[in-house]
Amino acid sequence: MEKRFDRKTVQDKLKQSLNRRINIIFLIITALIMLLILKVGYLQLIKGETYAAQIAAVENVEINNSVPRGRIFDRNGVPLVTNSSQKSIMYTRDRVTSQSELLDISKKLTNYIKMPIDNITERDKKDFWIISNRDKVEERMQKELDLFKDGSLSQQEYDQALLKKITNKDLESISDDELQQLAIFRIINGASELAPVEVKGEDVTEEEYATVSQNLDELPGVSTSMDWDRVYPQGDVLKTIFGKVSSKEEGLPKDLLDYYMARGYERNDRVGKSFLEEQYELTLSGKKTKMRYVTDKSGKIKSTEVIEPGQRGDDLVLTIDIKFQKKLEEIVEKHLKKLQKMDEEWSEEPIMDRAFIVVQDPRNGDILAMVGKIIDEDGNVSDYAYGTYQTQYMLGSSVKGATVLTAYQNNDLKVGQEIVDEGLKFKGRTSLMTSFFNPTGSKYPMDDREALQRSSNIYMYKLGLKAMGLNYSYNMGLPLDVSEASEDFQKGFHQFGLGVETQIDLPNESKGYQPKLEGNFAAIQLLQATIGQHYSYTPMQATQYVSSIANDGYRLRPHIVKEVRSATNNDELGPIKRNVEGTILNRIDNSNKEFKQVQNGFLDVYNKLYGTGYEYFAHKLPVTAAGKTGTAQRYIGKKNGEDQFVYNLTNVGYAPAENPVISFASIVPDTPMKPDRTFLPSHEIEAEMITEYFKLNKHLLPENSKGFTGEDEQSVKDGNDQLETINQN
């Protein structure tokens, strides 16, 4: 009885143990099933779209194709830069195209198009010979191939050895037909997968375009399309300022590759690479056409479709008046040729070779015209408009308005204050420092207004001494440390845009040259800076400076773009997308009374007897203008033991004197001075400019304007006749 009980107990225990094991296995299986269900659910519900997109990416690849750039117009809607369509042969490489297939496509294309071969290099020929002569390569390279296989030779060493074994005779064996094939192959072999490249985009004939289009079935990956190129309806006028666009061969600039690639550009995209085209690249480039390439699983292209049409770039409307720009270029060119002839007569070694003038609207910062011309020894004139903001020159007395206003700011001068113009003698210097109008240095008291009118150097020198905390006395010494005074002086000039960037909407602007004043001559250099010596500024900076005086103290950002217009599908300008307005950069820290005093001084320069601009501006203009002339002396070396100098002839001004609508700055560097202290008549440029501007814009003439006299009309005609005569000679 006891034994039966024990046997039953053992059986029960075995049964319970088995049941537990079965339950554990069942739980494990259930858990695995649940995990599987969760995983499948996760893949379908959470990651389903991701994997579907990856599958679709194998079969549907989106590519962006470039579109024509936006156009550029002048302020009146006259086209300056447009596009011309040109026929183009394109190729799109799929994912599995082999080099032998590329060779076959290249060979077939030679039956339909003729390629230029000038760009084929020796390395191109060697690579082509290698691909086309596999058997000969294997025969010549057997030894090197064995070394490469056993690791004794690297891939680079093998390739170099192979290139060395290709002889000139091998390269000469490439036929003319094969060179045509190579010209095509080198392009399509370098193409990225599914990224269209241009095989031929220039000089595609009607016959080539038609025959390729008719035979696309036997040319996999080849297509025909219409490309674009830049056209300049106004010829070379301002062409340097418009800038250039890269070719498809150039593609993206290497130094900006990451910048453009991050914005959806392809390596071979054409982009603006200088001046306006570069500055407004993102505006002009447009919206690319989005294409879908459908491929099979092997990577072969099955079909293409447009999924999002492109749109050419937006248009730019400039502040430039192209009619006025052209007229001003004629004026500058005429006088530059005239001045060159005079320079040759006056100088043993003439070096004058350029002239600049910038015209701006002081009310809003619009650049109405910017002219730079450079002339060679044979009298050939070329455009140098970018020199108006990228090159700098000493301005001479033209800066004296800024000197006086800075002295007001620093409490070194009061409106109407008299200072004696006289010869200055400093310790250690043998010669007197004098004003041009007072060469003997006799005592001549004058106020600030007359000092501007007669261009008193001594008045400005004494303001420079006050900036150093000094009053003049005969044979006085000058301090060595003028750092604080020069810093205050430069800060004052910076308010006008002299010595800082104007912030014009063009790339690579120069901010002029204001070196640190130190050493034994620092004090003298500071005095010279008060009359426009030692420091150099661009014509654009000079224009911003005088505009700030014309508009009662507002420094405006100059700009060459007036509006951005939305792209249209026709030749018409679209609606305004964005206005580019003249931003106020700063208000100059002077009172209205102080500005009025300087403006009156500028008025007297042009319109009062003994004013330095009286001869050119008092009686020859249709309006009353105001401004400040300048002459900066530049040392060029010694000759026969004597110092030799040339002179920058400068002028800043505005018109009409009341409520001005134009301001300007002109510079003719490196001109001679005759022994009788006569300078070249460069200010005729500005006088003619003012007359021509108001002839083109009679609606801007004030009610009390002088009008256009017969003499004015005749002088313009004589000037044009003179230009024609000079060109003929």
pLDDT tens digits, 320-377: 999 999 999 999 999 999 999 999 988 888 999 999 999 999 999 999 999 999 999 9
If one counts every other C-beta atom within 10 angstroms of the C-beta of residue 22, the result is 10
Element (DSSP H or E) covering residue 186: helix 176-188
**According to the model, what pLDDT value does residue 720 have?**
43
**According to the model, what pLDDT value does residue 721 have?**
45
Local confidence band at 692 (pLDDT 50, 70, 90 cut-offs)? very high
Angle at CA 576, nearest 5°, toward 573 and 582?
A: 120
Q: In the numeric block, which tokens belong to residue 361? A: 């609207």
Chain centroid, CA 405 distance in Å: 33
**According to the model, what pLDDT value does residue 5 have?**
45
CA neighbor of 384 nearest in space, from 234, 499, 237? 237
Residue 52 pLDDT exceeds 60: no
Mean pLDDT on 300-306: 68
Catalytic residue among 397, 547, 663, 682: 397
Where are the alpha helices (H) located in 301-372, listed in sequence order? 322-346
Give yes or no for a contact between 615 and 686, defined as CB atoms under 8 angstroms apart. no
Give yes or no for a contact between 395 and 532, defined as CB atoms under 8 angstroms apart. yes
Give every CB contact of residue 550 below 8 A, 6+ residues apart in sequence. 362, 599, 654, 660, 663
For the ranges 36-45, 116-125, 445-454, the maximum mean pLDDT occurs at: 445-454
Domain borders along the chain are 2-46, 322-728
Where are the alpha helices (H) located in 437-552, listed in sequence order? 448-454, 457-467, 483-494, 522-529, 539-550
* CA-based torsion, 177, 180, 184, 187: positive or negative: positive
C-alpha–C-alpha distance, residues 328 and 666, integer Å: 12
DSSP output for 617-680: HSSS-SS--EEEEEEEEEEEEEETTEEEEEEEEEEEEEESSSS-SEEEEEEEEEE-B-TT--B-
DSSP output for 1-18: -HHHHHHHHHHHHHHHHH
Residue 123 pLDDT exceeds 50: yes
Angle at CA 130, nearest 5°, toward 129 and 135?
A: 110
C-alpha–C-alpha distance, residues 18 and 323, integer Å: 105
Q: In the numeric block, which tokens belong to residue 261? A: 């690639």
Give the strand pairing for 289-295 and 301-308: antiparallel
Specify the range with the lowest mean pLDDT, choosing from 131-145, 513-527, 610-624: 131-145
- Fold (topology level) of 322-728: Beta-lactamase (3.40.710)
Spell out where 258-332 has E strands. 289-295, 301-308, 315-318
pLDDT tens digits, 132-150: 888 888 888 888 888 888 8
Give every CB contact of residue 530 below 8 A, 6+ residues apart in sequence. 400, 403, 460, 461, 463, 464, 489
* DSSP-based three-state secondary structure for 370: strand
Specify the range with the lowest mean pLDDT, choosing from 63-67, 380-384, 392-396, 685-689: 63-67
Residue 558 pLDDT exceeds 80: yes
Q: pLDDT: is 664 or 228 the higher one?
A: 664
Residues facing residue 225 across a β-bridge: 88
Give yes or no for a contact between 110 and 181, defined as CB atoms under 8 angstroms apart. yes
Burial 515-546 (b: 16+ CB within 10 A, else e): eebeeeebbbbbbbbbbbbbbbbbbbbbbbbb
397 a catalytic residue: yes
**According to the model, what pLDDT value does residue 138 have?**
86
Q: Write down the residue that tokens 């109405």 correspond to.
A: 368
Residue 655 pLDDT exceeds 90: yes
Local confidence band at 296 (pLDDT 50, 70, 90 cut-offs)? low
Element (DSSP H or E) covering residue 241: helix 239-242
Q: pLDDT: is 248 or 240 the higher one?
A: 240
pLDDT tens digits, 93-108: 887 888 888 899 999 9
Residue 298 pLDDT exceeds 50: yes
Q: pLDDT: is 470 or 195 the higher one?
A: 470
**According to the model, what pLDDT value does residue 11 have?**
64
**According to the model, what pLDDT value does residue 709 have?**
61
**According to the model, what pLDDT value does residue 725 have?**
37
Give every CB contact of residue 536 below 8 A, 6+ residues apart in sequence. 392, 393, 394, 395, 512, 513
Residues facing residue 84 across a β-bridge: 229
Give every CB contact of residue 236 below 8 A, 6+ residues apart in sequence. 383
Residue 555 pLDDT exceeds 90: yes
Give yes or no for a contact between 663 and 682, defined as CB atoms under 8 angstroms apart. no
Give the strand pairing for 354-360 and 662-671: antiparallel
Q: In the numeric block, which tokens belong to residue 500? A: 């800082």
Spell out where 146-273 has E strands. 197-200, 222-231
C-alpha–C-alpha distance, residues 208 and 203, integer Å: 10
Spell out where 74-213 has E strands. 79-91, 197-200
CA neighbor of 121 nearest in space, from 59, 54, 190? 190
Chain centroid, CA 178 distance in Å: 42
C-alpha–C-alpha distance, residues 366 and 693, integer Å: 15
**According to the model, what pLDDT value does residue 297 have?**
60
* DSSP-based three-state secondary structure for 482: coil
Q: In the numeric block, which tokens belong to residue 213? A: 């289009």
**According to the model, what pLDDT value does residue 132 have?**
87
Local confidence band at 723 (pLDDT 50, 70, 90 cut-offs)? very low
Angle at CA 704, nearest 5°, toward 700 and 708?
A: 70
C-alpha–C-alpha distance, residues 698 and 690, integer Å: 12
**According to the model, what pLDDT value does residue 716 have?**
41
Q: Average pLDDT over the chain, rounded to whole?
A: 88
Residue 619 pLDDT exceeds 60: yes
C-alpha–C-alpha distance, residues 31 and 27, integer Å: 6
Cis-peptide, bond into residue 675, ω within 30° of zero: no
Where are the alpha helices (H) located in 370-421, listed in sequence order? 387-390, 400-409
Give the strand pairing for 79-91 and 642-655: unpaired
pLDDT tens digits, 427-442: 988 889 999 999 999 9
Q: In the numeric block, which tokens belong to residue 520? A: 């034994």
Give yes or no for a contact between 196 and 91, defined as CB atoms under 8 angstroms apart. yes
C-alpha–C-alpha distance, residues 295 and 57, integer Å: 9
pLDDT tens digits, 262-293: 888 888 888 999 999 999 999 999 887 776 76
C-alpha–C-alpha distance, residues 246 and 170, integer Å: 35
C-alpha–C-alpha distance, residues 411 and 635, integer Å: 34
Give the strand pairing for 584-587 and 289-295: unpaired
* CA-based torsion, 247, 251, 254, 255: positive or negative: positive
C-alpha–C-alpha distance, residues 209 and 202, integer Å: 12
Local confidence band at 610 (pLDDT 50, 70, 90 cut-offs)? very high
Q: Write down the residue that tokens 């006289």 correspond to.
A: 422
pLDDT tens digits, 11-50: 666 667 677 777 778 778 887 888 777 776 666 666 666 6
